[in-house]
Amino acid sequence: MINETLIPKIGVVTDIRKDTPDVKTFRVVGTDGKKLFEHMPGQCAMVSIPGVGECMFSITSSPTNKEYMEFSIKKCGCVTEVIHAIEVGQQITVRGPYGKNFPVEGDFKGKDLLFIAGGIGLAPLRSVINYVRHYRNNYGKVVIVYGARSKDDLVDIDEIKTEWMNEPNMEVYLTIDRPQDGWDGHVGFVPAYVKELGLDPNMTAVLCGPPIMIKFTLAGLLELGFDKSRVYTTLELRMKCGIGKCGRCNVGDKFVCKDGPVFRMTELDELPDEY
Amino acid sequence: MLKIAKERLNELYAKINESMGLFIPIKRAGEVNYAVWGEGKEVSLETLKTVKSPKNMFFPQTENMMQFKTEGKNIEIVDIREEYKELRPFVLFGVKACDYKAIEVLDKVFLADPVDTYYQNRREATTIVTLACSRPEESCFCGVFGIDATAPTGDVTTWLDGEYLYWQVNTEKGKALTALVKDLLTEGGEKEVASQQETTKTVLEKLPFANLDLSRFKPENLNELFEAKEWEEMSEACLGCGTCTFVCPTCQCFDIRDIKTNEGVLRYRCWDSCMYSDFTQMAGGNNRTTQLQRFRQRFMHKLVYYPSQNDGLYSCVGCGRCVNKCPQKLNIVKVIKTLGGKNND
């Protein structure tokens, strides 16, 4: 059978939610109204507007959502600029899923989980968090630390407030970089907040956000006694094919599209510092 | 072993061409490259190195992938691979040992799961006839990578010696091709081939790059090699022109682009180069901003990363094209001599 991996499917945007001034979440189904394909948390897809370009995005919806897929996309380049301008009903192309997922059916099982996200870094984590909520009994305690520049830059804040914060055995800590009117929560950067919270170092941690946040948060976690082999993150590099052939996302002996985007910190230690 | 007199080769080409396409080194405007054979074309089997390697037979420099027709908010995808279903089987004739090994290197990339069907379709439609080398040049160093220039494999192996082309069948595809041209072939040639191989081997042993030491290029030395201070000096003169990647038989990096045409949007892929400054450029940054980083990526990939992913197989085959073509006289030989191991002096 011919593997259709480079030929995309046609998706229809059925809903657009403006999360923050520069992040929108797009709900996508196939032309038959059904979900385009199945995926696992952490996997990505190539989304394209023909004539404009094709880019890799994490699938932010959980695989347990059987109706549609969602992509949270930050406006920051030529393709995302155009994606942000589309309206409901617009067709786009989607191919995937690509890459390795978080080990939700492996090492995460039975563990206490710590999710740390910064800004749009919540997008790939939302998929895992909602997967974990769906199969709640398979996992231990869940702690989420999420920070953004301002209260207006917190992605998926409605879902966080109405659902995540009311979930049993799940703690959610929010923070913003600077004080702001109408915000009575924590103020400060994510790495400092993580250290302040004095988190249990036996948890399995997942970090996602800007490289600078990851760097300092990881240092903080190690100070708290976390084990690098139980800290996961995702990498993001330029990609064109998504299947380990075009050469773009190659770092050391890994292709981020195929061998990632999910990596253990111990795996990253073995790679040359070029990501 | 079979053979055919050199003066009858045109009959052989014509016979193959009756039922299959034939790509063979052809001289045109002073350059020899693989091209479609036809009556009157100047075949040049003796040319040791075609300017471009035969990789573009399977991985063309530009290749159309699909077409999009858009109307309002709707998109229709036209799968232009339909035309491949009609792809005429073809023969790639005269492939040297290094270039044949390079196809093996590319196979491991494009045919690995998930398979690249564009490449696979062309690859499966091809019968490869290799040609042993009898006059290797100074820039040749295939032996360093364990390649025997006097005995390439492929579906059929040939040797050009004296008045004859000698012909040895290796595979089922080779058998089928041989059956097609059997009336032109006669028995004999073992002795002549063995004698040519012996002579060529003595030449190969004396080539200036015959004894490069690769012993340090091992996965366990990945980070040490990456951090080597010598990259700075080695890459200093690199212009980032990408010539080495374009003439390289194993370079496989590509770009995927869309172009608006009268019939809609055409999505195509084309060769790209890790030597180019925008190769890894993202909206969110660039992980290789200096030519040193890009230069290092190319050679680390060939000598360390790729072998680490593919059971020690190097993705350099020692064809020497980059040695001849780099405008700045930089090349993989200099990298091997600098970092490959202590027996490179």
Separation in Å, CA of A235 to nearest CA in chain B: 11
CA distances from A149 to A54, A73, A81, A90, B255 (A): 28, 17, 21, 31, 35
Tell whether A212 is within 8 A of chain B (Cβ).
no
Residue B194 sits in the same domain as residue B298:
no
Residue B18 sits in the same domain as residue B128:
yes
Q: What percent of chain A has pLDDT over 90?
A: 91
Tell whether A215 is within 8 A of chain B (Cβ).
no
B288 contacts A252? CB cut-off 8 A: no
Tell whether A14 is within 8 A of chain B (Cβ).
no
Nearest residue of A to residue B76, measured between CA atoms: A10
Looking at the structure of chain B, the number of domains it has is 2
Q: How many secondary structure helices (H) and strands (E) does chain A include?
A: 7, 15
Residue spans of chain B under pLDDT 70 = 82-86, 345
Strand partners, A186: A175
User: Cβ(B206)–Cβ(B184) under 8 Å?
Assistant: no
Q: Which of B206, B229, B256 is the last residue of a domain?
A: B206
Interface test with B, best of A55, A268, A274 (most B CBs within 10 A): A274
Q: CA–CA separation, A101 vs A128, rounded Å? A: 9
Q: How many secondary structure helices (H) and strands (E) does chain B include?
A: 13, 14
User: Cβ(B263)–Cβ(B70) under 8 Å?
Assistant: no
Tell whether A91 is within 8 A of chain B (Cβ).
yes
Residue B198 sits in the same domain as residue B244:
no
Residue B44 sits in the same domain as residue B146:
yes
CA distances from A107 to A101, A113, A138, A269 (A): 12, 11, 11, 19
Residue B245 sits in the same domain as residue B273:
yes
Give the ipTM. Answer: 0.90
Residue B121 sits in the same domain as residue B200:
yes
Sort out which chain B residues have CB atoms less than 8 A from A91's CB and list them: 73-75
Residue B243 sits in the same domain as residue B307:
yes
Residue B198 sits in the same domain as residue B226:
no
Burial of A181 (0-12, 13-18, 19+ CB in 10 A): exposed
Tell whether A250 is within 8 A of chain B (Cβ).
yes
Q: Which of B180, B206, B232 is the last residue of a domain?
A: B206
Q: Which of A26-35, A100-109, B118-127, B312-321 has the lowest mean pLDDT?
A: B118-127
pLDDT at A5: 77
Cis peptide before B136 (omega within 30 of 0): no
Q: CA–CA separation, A176 vs B249, rounded Å? A: 52
DSSP A109-165: TT--EEEEEEGGGHHHHHHHHHHHHHTGGGS--EEEEEEESSGGG-TTHHHHHHTGG
Q: Is B45 domain-assigned?
A: yes
Q: Which residue has the tokens 């006097």?
A: B150
Residue B118 sits in the same domain as residue B158:
yes
Q: pLDDT at residue A174 above 50? A: yes
What is the homologous superfamily of the domain A9-98 according to CATH? Translation factors (2.40.30.10)
Separation in Å, CA of A113 to nearest CA in chain B: 28
CA distances from B13 to B10, B46, B122, B176, B189 (A): 5, 16, 20, 15, 20
- Percentage helix, strand, coil, to 5, in chain A? 25, 30, 40
A250 contacts B254? CB cut-off 8 A: no
Nearest one of A212, A80, A255, A260 to B283, comparing CA atoms: A80
Separation in Å, CA of A89 to nearest CA in chain B: 7
Q: pLDDT at residue A179 above 70? A: yes
Residue B228 sits in the same domain as residue B196:
no
Q: Residue B108 sits in which domain range?
A: 2-50+81-206
Give the pLDDT band of residue A1 (cuts 50, 70, 90): very low
Residue B152 sits in the same domain as residue B226:
no
Give the pLDDT band of residue A2 (cuts 50, 70, 90): very low
Interface test with B, best of A87, A250, A259 (most B CBs within 10 A): A250
pLDDT at A108: 96
B272 contacts A243? CB cut-off 8 A: no
A237 contacts B252? CB cut-off 8 A: no
Nearest one of A101, A116, A128 to A208, comparing CA atoms: A116
pLDDT at B343: 84
Q: Is B59 domain-assigned?
A: no
Of A53, A246, A274, the CB nearest to B254: A246
Q: Is B316 domain-assigned?
A: yes
User: CA angle, A43 as apex, A226 and A147 as ends, to 5°?
Assistant: 50
Q: Which of B156, B177, B206 is the last residue of a domain?
A: B206
Fold of A113-234: Rossmann fold (3.40.50)
pLDDT at B85: 60
Give the pLDDT band of residue A275 (cuts 50, 70, 90): confident
Q: Where are the alpha helices (DSSP H) in B33-92?
A: 82-85
Separation in Å, CA of B217 to nearest CA in chain A: 13
Give the pLDDT band of residue A211 (cuts 50, 70, 90): confident
A3 contacts B253? CB cut-off 8 A: no
Separation in Å, CA of B79 to nearest CA in chain A: 8
Sort out which chain B residues have CB atoms less than 8 A from A259's CB and list them: none
Nearest one of B49, B43, B56, B54 to B12, comparing CA atoms: B43
Tell whether B112 is within 8 A of chain A (Cβ).
yes
